[in-house]
Chains A and B, each alone.
Chain A
Amino acid sequence: MPPPDTNPFFRTVSFMLRYIVKRMVFAIPTLFAVSIVAFIIIQLPPGDYLTTLMADWASQGGAVEAGTVAAMRERYGLDQPIYFQYYKWIAGILMRGDFGISFELGKPVTELIWNRLGFSLLLSVLTLCFVWAIAIPIGILSAVRQYSISDYTATFLAFFFLAVPDFLMALSAMYIMSAWFGQSVGGLFSPDYVDAPWSFGKLLDFAQHVWLPVVVIGLGSLAALVRIMRANLLDELSKPYVTTARAKGMSELELLLRYPVRLALNPLISTLGWILPAVISGEIIVSVVMSLPTTGPLLLRALLAQDMYLAGSLILLISVLTIIGTLISDILLAITDPRIRLQ
């Protein structure tokens, strides 16, 4: 037991501060490792951006002198050893926030990605909220009415959406919405608003567009969460503390929400760590199909063109988001479960 006379509130706060700092320090080596892996992955395919470019030119009938290629290779720094290229890239990021330039688009990477990264993040967060808001009630219902019609129906639907590939779901959703309801689909804005500054009208337009990709991406992760919630809650429902609460005279609904559901949520919070990457990678395909202005399509293009600084920076930043997600889930878990804080 901790010293008996400390105030529990201060104990909690001081623990949380130490815990958060510790977790952040632990995240640093992970980030470092991720940056190396990201860079290596980009270098894995044979050739580099210039070979891709030459192949492109050659296919268009142009011929390039060997001297030009060598000169360009020198200009882009591609003639230097890999570790030196990595050093240059990572040093630029750390010292100046400079992620390098995109070869293909001829612009600094930073200029290209922040906007899209913002939309990616927004889309992911909205999707997470949507999935949780749907999965938790369905999970509760499935557990409380185990082996009932509603349990089987919910389970069937969840697995159905898990089985349907993302792109197919995106295509069907777009077809249904535009052919039957005449809604403008694809993108996050109507054409009029794409380049307009933010306004109430633009926000409204955004809301009209964003829900479809959110639903499409979210439905794929729904099954896992529903099943986790159901299994957790079934475990908790038979615990003795439920009987204790019942013996106090608590009503069944209050009891359900206050005790077993409250405890069943804890493992669900820790799923945030892996559900976030799942959402982000699911988003890539859906974004390409629905032509959303997020990082997904940009990353795909950069990888195809071997545009290494752009692709590397995108992979790095997406990984950072994932690590942050895990960090947030750890912190949330420590807040909601005193056993982690105090034991």
Chain B
Amino acid sequence: MSDTILQVRDLRTVFPTRTGLFKAVDGVSFDLKRGQTLCVVGESGSGKSVTARSILQIVDRPGRIESGSILLTRADGSITDLAKLDPRGRDIRSVRGKEIAMIFQEPMSSLSPVHRIGTQIGETLRIHFGTSKHEQRERVLELLRQVEIPRPESAIDRYTFEFSGGMRQRVMIAMALACNPSVLIADEPTTALDVTTQAEILDLIRKLQKSHGMAVLFITHDMGVVAEIADDVLVMYRGKVMETGPVEQIFHAPQDEYTRRLIGSVVKLEKKAEARTARAAIPAGTKPLLDVRNLSMTFPSGLKAVDDVSLTVRPGETLGIVGESGSGKTTMGRCLLRIYDPQAGSIDYRRPDGQTIDIRTADKASLQKVRREVRMIFQDPVGSLSPRKNVGQIIAEPLKLAGMRGRELDDRVAELMLQVGLEPSWRERYPHAFSGGQRQRIGIARAIAVNPRLIVADEATSALDVSLRSQMLDLMMKLQDELGLSYVFISHDMSVIRYMCDRVAVMYRGKIVETGDTDQVINAPAHDYTRALLSAIPHPDPRNRRMHNRFRYDASRAASANG
């Protein structure tokens, strides 16, 4: 068929380890057609990234292609088997970047921080066409315009760290498009981005695909994204293809058990958790556990990150705080524990004996008491656990600070590990031996160790695969019911908020623009920004693709209408 650009047959990529060969990709076959989007979907570790890298022969050492074929049909009709080429040779290099271009997940670390973006984009042209400096610049400016980067003339001489995450990903895309490739491989290009930015990047890729007639191989773990953009889907699990077919079929008539589970994990997040819909409402007259009034926090740089924020958290309740990165939600969460010193307002915390303490002005001794009762869970399950302590020591740390010792301490650690679904016999292991989801469980066990009353969870599930996300939220709700906890749940993901929060506050540029019961905010949003956030969530139903027609919020335009 002349339409097929890339034909992969029985691809096997292996990593030699001490215990034998690890088969990262195990007999994968697929066809990629001109102008079409093939989504490869699976959890982390399923081999989808290695599949993509195998095509360009850029698998990290010591990985190598063991067998199989990757047939690329070039513009002149000739066919090359990429799997047979020398990974360091001239032939494969002439394919990379020119015929097949690739964009990566983390646009910050995937671009060099010390080279101007114009140089990094133009380089591809020099390598493949020997384009002169002057022409390079012209073409790069044109590319920057295509990917809709504002003010290309000055942007071209800037460095990556001067751009936001979304703009960096646009730079990556411009780089990939430089030589008009016939295939674009996108390896989780939107995973590190906000939902609204994700929607914009997906729009851009689709637009460029149409105008360039490219075939796109899109790798993601997010079934919602798949439903929005895919023509065909390939489901991978542990290096093997579980199911493949048109997107309609995958979503509405899945054949494989694993596919059903993947879809189920996303659909589950489409509505409120059963554990929460069934729960009795908190009595109206309950005095709030935390009462924040007119809180403001300005950084020394002059940035007003939190601007006159007021909110309350009642006992046993989950308050969601939602907003894009840069909206000040993380800063706000940190102010609640006085990690930062807010300049104005009050944070009244009610202690079990009924007495209230203003955390903002509290002295050292009372702050210490408060911090035993208010704890935090962090986003990055890797960075927030010390790699030099084993799990038992990590969980025991807050208990030791509280004065617990010996036998009692050991028992408590074991009990906590059971509570969060970890085997107590794993206590001697170090964090690196655990998966992302398990590491986040360790973080939760540490947070609940000293029987806190309030937990501030900052993007606690953002680094996890969708399938793990609902598990983690279920665990947090179970603990809430068992221990009578309250949560302040900070997230950029509306679906996560909808799943578990009782009430939600929407933050935009340091201010709270809307607050109310979750159902009410989600079903009848009062503020345009909330509507924009909601409509940017990928919808896991290919028959009802709504992201493209989403509602966009423009602060300057809305200023007059909305205030």
Residues of A within 8 A of B (CB): 1-2, 4-9, 238-241, 243-252, 259, 262-263, 266, 336-339, 342-343
Residue of B nearest to A253 (CB): B88
Partner pick for A1 among B113, B128, B162, CB 8 A cutoff:
B162
- Whether A247 contacts B123 in the complex (CB less than 8 A), given A5-B151, A262-B114, A342-B161, comes out as no
Partner pick for B93 among A5, A238, A250, CB 8 A cutoff:
A250
Residue of A nearest to B119 (CB): A258
Cβ contacts B25-66/A at 8 Å (1 or 0 each): 000000000000000000000000000010010101000000
Residues of B within 8 A of A8 (CB): 116, 154, 157-158
Q: How far is the CB of B197 from chain A (nearest CB, A)?
A: 16
- Is B159 located at the chain interface by the 8 A CB criterion? yes
- Would B151 and A4 count as touching, CB distance under 8 A? yes
- Would A246 and B58 count as touching, CB distance under 8 A? yes
Residues of A within 8 A of B102 (CB): 244, 247
29 contacts between A and B (CB under 8 A): A4-B154, A5-B154, A6-B154, A7-B154, A8-B158, A240-B106, A241-B109, A241-B111, A241-B112, A243-B53, A243-B60, A243-B104, A245-B123, A246-B58, A246-B96, A247-B101, A248-B124, A249-B93, A249-B94, A249-B97, A262-B112, A262-B115, A263-B113, A336-B114, A337-B114, A338-B114, A339-B159, A342-B159, A342-B161
- Would B162 and A342 count as touching, CB distance under 8 A? yes
- Whether A263 contacts B94 in the complex (CB less than 8 A), given A8-B154, A247-B56, comes out as no
Known: A5-B151, A241-B109. 8 other contacts (CB 8 A): A238-B60, A241-B111, A244-B110, A249-B95, A250-B93, A262-B112, A263-B114, A338-B113
Q: How far is the CB of B345 from chain A (nearest CB, A)?
A: 28
A266 CA to B116 CA, complexed, in Å: 16
Residues of B within 8 A of A240 (CB): 104, 106, 109-110
Partner pick for A250 among B109, B111, B123, CB 8 A cutoff:
B123
Residue of A nearest to B163 (CB): A1
Residues of A within 8 A of B114 (CB): 262-263, 266, 336-339
Residues of B within 8 A of A2 (CB): 162
Residue of A nearest to B156 (CB): A8
A250 CA to B125 CA, complexed, in Å: 11
- Whether A249 contacts B127 in the complex (CB less than 8 A), given A1-B162, A342-B161, comes out as yes
Residue of A nearest to B95 (CB): A249
- Would B88 and A252 count as touching, CB distance under 8 A? yes
Partner pick for B104 among A238, A244, A336, CB 8 A cutoff:
A244
Q: How far is the CB of A238 from chain B (nearest CB, A)?
A: 8
Residues of A within 8 A of B124 (CB): 248-249
Residue of B nearest to A337 (CB): B114
Residues of B within 8 A of A (CB): 53, 56, 58, 60, 88, 93-98, 101-102, 104, 106, 109-116, 123-124, 127-128, 151, 154, 157-159, 161-162, 172, 175
Partner pick for A259 among B93, B106, B112, B127, CB 8 A cutoff:
B112
Partner pick for B113 among A6, A9, A247, A339, CB 8 A cutoff:
A339
A7 CA to B153 CA, complexed, in Å: 10
A61 CA to B60 CA, complexed, in Å: 80
- Would B104 and A248 count as touching, CB distance under 8 A? no
A245 CA to B53 CA, complexed, in Å: 13
Q: How far is the CB of A245 from chain B (nearest CB, A)?
A: 8
Residue of B nearest to A263 (CB): B114
Residues of B within 8 A of A263 (CB): 112-114
Q: How far is the CB of B97 from chain A (nearest CB, A)?
A: 4
A259 CA to B175 CA, complexed, in Å: 16
Residues of A within 8 A of B104 (CB): 240, 243-244
A263 CA to B111 CA, complexed, in Å: 12
Q: How far is the CB of A42 from chain B (nearest CB, A)?
A: 43
Q: How far is the CB of A190 from chain B (nearest CB, A)?
A: 47
Residues of A within 8 A of B95 (CB): 249
- Would B109 and A247 count as touching, CB distance under 8 A? no
Residues of B within 8 A of A238 (CB): 60
Q: How far is the CB of A241 from chain B (nearest CB, A)?
A: 5
Q: How far is the CB of B282 from chain A (nearest CB, A)?
A: 44
A262 CA to B123 CA, complexed, in Å: 16
A216 CA to B381 CA, complexed, in Å: 50
- Whether A250 contacts B127 in the complex (CB less than 8 A), given A1-B162, A5-B154, A8-B157, comes out as yes
Residues of B within 8 A of A250 (CB): 93, 123, 127
Q: Name the residue among A2, A5, A245, A263 with the largest chain B CB count within 10 angstroms.
A: A245
A218 CA to B171 CA, complexed, in Å: 44
A244 CA to B115 CA, complexed, in Å: 13
A325 CA to B266 CA, complexed, in Å: 59
Q: Name the residue among A245, A246, A248, A337 with the largest chain B CB count within 10 angstroms.
A: A248
Partner pick for A248 among B96, B113, B157, CB 8 A cutoff:
B96
Q: How far is the CB of A266 from chain B (nearest CB, A)?
A: 7
Partner pick for A241 among B96, B110, B157, B162, CB 8 A cutoff:
B110
Residue of B nearest to A252 (CB): B88
A1 CA to B128 CA, complexed, in Å: 33
- Would A244 and B159 count as touching, CB distance under 8 A? no
Q: How far is the CB of B178 from chain A (nearest CB, A)?
A: 8
A243 CA to B53 CA, complexed, in Å: 10
A241 CA to B110 CA, complexed, in Å: 4
Residue of B nearest to A251 (CB): B93
Residues of B within 8 A of A241 (CB): 109-112
- Would A239 and B94 count as touching, CB distance under 8 A? no
Residues of A within 8 A of B159 (CB): 338-339, 342
Residues of B within 8 A of A245 (CB): 112, 123
Q: How far is the CB of A2 from chain B (nearest CB, A)?
A: 8
- Whether A239 contacts B162 in the complex (CB less than 8 A), given A8-B154, A247-B96, A249-B96, comes out as no
Residues of A within 8 A of B109 (CB): 239-241
Q: How far is the CB of B235 from chain A (nearest CB, A)?
A: 25
Residue of A nearest to B57 (CB): A246
Q: How far is the CB of A13 from chain B (nearest CB, A)?
A: 13
Q: How far is the CB of B308 from chain A (nearest CB, A)?
A: 25
A246 CA to B159 CA, complexed, in Å: 20
Residues of A within 8 A of B113 (CB): 263, 338-339
Residues of A within 8 A of B116 (CB): 8
Residues of A within 8 A of B162 (CB): 1-2, 342
Q: How far is the CB of A184 from chain B (nearest CB, A)?
A: 47
- Would A247 and B97 count as touching, CB distance under 8 A? yes
- Would A243 and B94 count as touching, CB distance under 8 A? no
- Would A248 and B112 count as touching, CB distance under 8 A? no
Q: How far is the CB of B40 from chain A (nearest CB, A)?
A: 17
- Would B127 and A248 count as touching, CB distance under 8 A? yes
Residues of A within 8 A of B115 (CB): 259, 262
Residues of A within 8 A of B123 (CB): 245, 248, 250
Q: How far is the CB of A331 from chain B (nearest CB, A)?
A: 16
- Whether A244 contacts B111 in the complex (CB less than 8 A), given A4-B154, A8-B158, A339-B161, comes out as yes
